[in-house]
Structure 1
């Protein structure tokens, strides 16, 4: 049993390493795209493009409908899964492509975003092409082939970004929004090809009606649990667009983009752990330990990015995106807090989903969504100001976090005090980093903005890294090297 636990732990660490490497590339590319196009496009153009991406992401969420996770967790053979899931994916791809293409004008009217319809029609192609990726991705994850998955995810981002930058250089300024649209279109074509190269997803036989019912039932159950949490990520941008306009929606997405690295760490960890946790659905004690370790280690590492983003945002946003986007600063700070709360909620509900406890997870995210949407449509908003939307999202994620603690206590008999202890390294070290960072910024005075950002960053690192390293069982210098970080993760 000890050998099995050690092997699972080694697999999780190795998988997390590969997934994190892939995510690092994706985050870097996405951030660079955001930085460049936020400066190239008019604020209104950038805002409409972000709304188009959000609507397309919502369609993708509904299209996949939990199918990938259902395939991962299915006890059926690979051939049985492949032969049936492929056709389910193709059908949903065609359906949602039609919804986006034919409903583009309606979306534009409801959201009050002029120029949205042609962008949505272009992005409808993504729904068809991406349906060829779903089955190969699921099969790779079934066999814990994290390295291959990381390559298939990361390389297309680089190709897509290169295409977008090339088109931006040759297109007229008024047409550059299409260069930004070219990124997801190119990326998804390359991604589908790579996934099928590493793990062919084309069926070798006919679909089975019984397997289709099983996968659909499981997929829709997982979707029911995932949908509220995903809507909580997508609806705020659309609500801000409706109530405060394109400029506010663009600024809101800029704030979100700053939080992507930390959010992706959490998503990567959850995807890595999902198939592993699914194998131990009946061992409550092991689940408890795994959840607490995840909150302790992954939460602390992600908190380093989020806490730094909070203290650095006043300098970081204007330096990277320009003075025109100063309205994104307070929103980015609130979104850092919202991201931290959502990360911890994800860790808990991911374990519940992986082990067949969908109902508690559904309650958590439905409650969080209800509170968040209620706040989004009741808190007053002014044109061009994204901050109220960020505050509303923070209220919703805070409610979700509290509900998740209750769900873990009820479903897995986890004591809230144990959760609080697991959160201590992140909260203590993050608070220390923010305090020292603000102090360093005050000492730096009113010099050049880049110098002030450097002082804040050095101060934050001096406050965060030593304390976090010690609280995670290492030393004050453990988090200064990749080897030290790996040792801390292994120790926890």
Structure 2
């Protein structure tokens, strides 16, 4: 059983990582071109459109998909009831968005938002067909199929968005591309796991999973508003242009986290759910995940913080320069956020969604306070407020999660401190060594030198401070590439 689970997890992780890598290379190549064609205001309008629309997506699913994965229930009676619930919720969300689009536009003082919100609401009648296939594929650990659906939809989105941005520059290029991606992704999911039964509107069979589903919904709601509260504040107080700049800065700073966590959570939640009756295995696997995540997160984010303004200028040009410093500031807090995110699928798999929900409430309050205080000083103030609040909230959440898993704090610190110290040394070298030395050099030369020196410095420092963690991470990479022993990952 252990070997079989390890084989399936590593196979899924291999596929998810490969597809995510290909997808991101393609998507970011297109995104850079699109961002040069569009403006910060265009992206700000799309961010404002998405604030309520994306939350409606959280409501329409109500945590039922994740609850099905966690409970491992897959009888047709339960699935038909879940299908019926999602159908009703999705149609209700679509109608509510269409009706409230005018109010949303008036609230933000952007009349163009009304047709944009109404158009985006059309995704909900389509998304009805995606929840059950995705849940069943996740239950069976068929990550290859889920990853391929993401890849194909991303290819469609990139092609449509680029074409429209070239022919008709403006926010509609982004909205139409997103709708196309939704249609394609759900179509592919149904090829691999088609819905072969009608919905049922008798919801009694859902009773065993509703408690978990409601807690997951609550947690996702808090995660969502915790992630979108900055857009809400900036959109209301500073306008679409500054929101576009901040959103782009946050996108750049969050990119290594979001894409890595999409892969990790896609695999880890079902995998931890499969061993949730053995707390020692869960704890050991969590420790391994911490070590590997820390070795990835600290150098990536702190290195990005050191070069973000120059990278923003090189990739996007002068009209996006206002996003450079916020991206650097936000990147400093991202390792804490990523390490904290590792604990969420563990708590959910252990059936402690109540604890996860309480932690998110506390995080939302802390980060919300930081954003509100920082917004008094404009875009830079919001960035600093967010970057200060995230580590504070993360420390508190981590202490609670460790108590649930019976992991001492010293054990946790042992897993992450080597990578943190090595990355700090790397950042100091870049900021106080390479940067002053090459201050007058062309931007591309300076960035290349900083990256090369940073990689070398981190590798040397990590080899001194945490050789075992370095070797373990290299072993994981080999297993993901299919060159190692999958059983070692268990």
TM-score, normalised by the number of residues in structure 2:
0.91
Please tell me whether residue 184 in structure 1 is matched to residue 181 in structure 2: no
Partners of 2:129 and 2:186 within 8 A in 1? yes
Please tell me whether residue 198 in structure 1 is matched to residue 195 in structure 2: no
Q: Which of these residues, 374, 382, 386, is aligned with residue 393 of structure 1? A: 386
Partners of 1:466 and 1:476 within 8 A in 2? no
Q: C-alpha offsets along residues 414-463 of structure 1, whole Å, 9 cap, x if unaligned?
A: 11111111112331232232223332233223121111111111111112
Q: In the alignment, what sits opposite 1:423?
A: 416
Distance 1:57 1:463, change over 3 A: farther
Shift of 1:466: 4.2
Please tell me whether residue 296 in structure 1 is matched to residue 295 in structure 2: no
Distance 1:360 1:488, change over 3 A: farther
Q: Which of these residues, 341, 357, 380, is aligned with residue 346 of structure 1? A: 341
Q: In the alignment, what sits opposite 1:244?
A: 238
Bigger drift between 311-320 and 225-234 goes to 225-234
Q: In the alignment, what sits opposite 1:210?
A: 204
Long gaps (5+) in structure 2? none
Mapped partners of 2:473, 2:357: distance in 1: 38
SS at match of 2:468: coil
Bigger drift between 37-46 and 139-148 goes to 37-46
Bigger drift between 29-38 and 222-231 goes to 29-38
Mapped partners of 1:489, 1:466: distance in 2: 26
Q: In the alignment, what sits opposite 2:437?
A: 443
Partners of 2:427 and 2:454 within 8 A in 1? yes
Q: In the alignment, what sits opposite 1:135?
A: 132
Mapped partners of 2:178, 2:285: distance in 1: 35
Bigger drift between 415-424 and 26-35 goes to 26-35
Which residues in structure 2 correspond to 1:126-165 (within 5 Å)? Answer: 126-165=123-162
Please tell me whether residue 167 in structure 1 is matched to residue 164 in structure 2: yes
Aligned length: 484
Structure with bigger RCO (C-alpha 8 Å, 6+ apart): 2
Q: In the alignment, what sits opposite 1:254?
A: 248
Runs (4 or more) in structure 1 with deviation over 6 Å come to 474-478, 487-492
Mapped partners of 2:485, 2:291: distance in 1: 10
Distance 1:484 1:361, change over 3 A: closer
Shift of 1:75: 3.8
SS at match of 1:103: helix
Shift of 1:53: 2.9
Long gaps (5+) in structure 1? none
Q: In the alignment, what sits opposite 2:24?
A: 27
Shift of 1:98: 1.6
Q: In the alignment, what sits opposite 2:61?
A: 64
Shift of 1:289: 1.1
Mapped partners of 1:444, 1:17: distance in 2: 39
Shift of 1:337: 2.7
Partners of 1:164 and 1:182 within 8 A in 2? yes
Shift of 1:39: 2.2
Across the aligned residues of Structure 1 and Structure 2, the Cα RMSD in angstroms comes to: 2.6
Mapped partners of 1:170, 1:80: distance in 2: 49
